Amino acid sequence: MSYRVELARSADRELWRLPEPYRTKVFRVIKLLGEDPRSSGSKKLKGSKDAWRIRLGPYRILYTVQDVLRIVRVESVGDRKDVYR
């Protein structure tokens, strides 16, 4: 069963600000989150019960997984130095 992928409004804006080669990679990874939100490249964030992150070069994709509703919500996309703030 697949999950529905949603982008927070702020994540959508951050996504379009990325340089082009990374933007297409991030789009591809976000699309794959619908099939497997806890893939081998993802890591659970400490201090939260449903927050995850994926590393993609110098960029990070932060997202939450709601298993009951089968929703993956991308909360933030950005450079690793800024995305955790």
Is the overall model pTM greater than 0.85, yes or no? yes
Phi (first) and psi of residue 13, to 5 degrees: -65, -45
Tell the CATH superfamily of the 4-79 domain: RelE-like (3.30.2310.20)
Residues with Cβ within 8 Å of 25's Cβ and at least 6 positions away in sequence, in order, are 56, 57
Average of per-residue pLDDT across 20-39 = 93
d(CA 48, CA 36): 19
**Domain range annotation of the chain:** 4-79
pLDDT band at residue 84 under the 50/70/90 scheme: confident
Are the beta carbons of 53 and 60 closer than 8 angstroms?
yes
pLDDT digits (tens, 9 = 90+) for 3-25: 999 999 999 999 999 999 999 99
Evaluate if residue 40 carries a pLDDT over 90: no
The β-bridge relationship of strands 42-44 and 71-79 is: unpaired
